[in-house]
Amino acid sequence: GIPLGDRCTVEAGLYITSGTKVALLDDSNELVDVLKARDLAGKSDLLFRRNSQTGAVECKTNKSAIALNEELHANN
């Protein structure tokens, strides 16, 4: 595996090794680059998933990890 940063999410059943090729996607799910997982080690706020149609491991910004749930924080 690789060391994950803060607030990263890895899809259940997905195993990432340092040599795993990862497709880096932008907010529109467009391919930005293909990297080895070791290049993403220690980075925070990432979502790793496997594309069910192509089998490719994909990575994008994990927006749900950084967005506060307004309903839960309404009483603060």
Please write the tens of the pLDDT for every residue from 17-71: 999 999 999 999 999 999 999 999 999 999 999 999 999 999 999 877 555 556 6
Indicate if the pLDDT at residue 74 is higher than 70: no
Per the domain annotation, does 71 fall within a domain? no
Q: Does residue 29 belong to any structural domain of this protein?
A: yes
The per-residue pLDDT for 42 is 95
Q: Give the model's pLDDT for residue 12.
A: 96
Asked, for residue 27, whether it belongs to a domain, the answer is: yes
Residue 57, in any domain of the structure = yes
Per-residue confidence (pLDDT) for residue 55, from 0 to 100: 96
Report yes or no on 3 lying in a domain: no
- Distance between CA atoms of residues 73 and 21, nearest Å: 38
Domain of 58 in residue numbering reads as 9-64
Q: Is 4 within the bounds of a domain?
A: no
Total domains, the chain: 1
Residue at 1 is within a domain? no
Residue 76 pLDDT grade (very low, low, confident, very high; cuts 50, 70, 90):
low
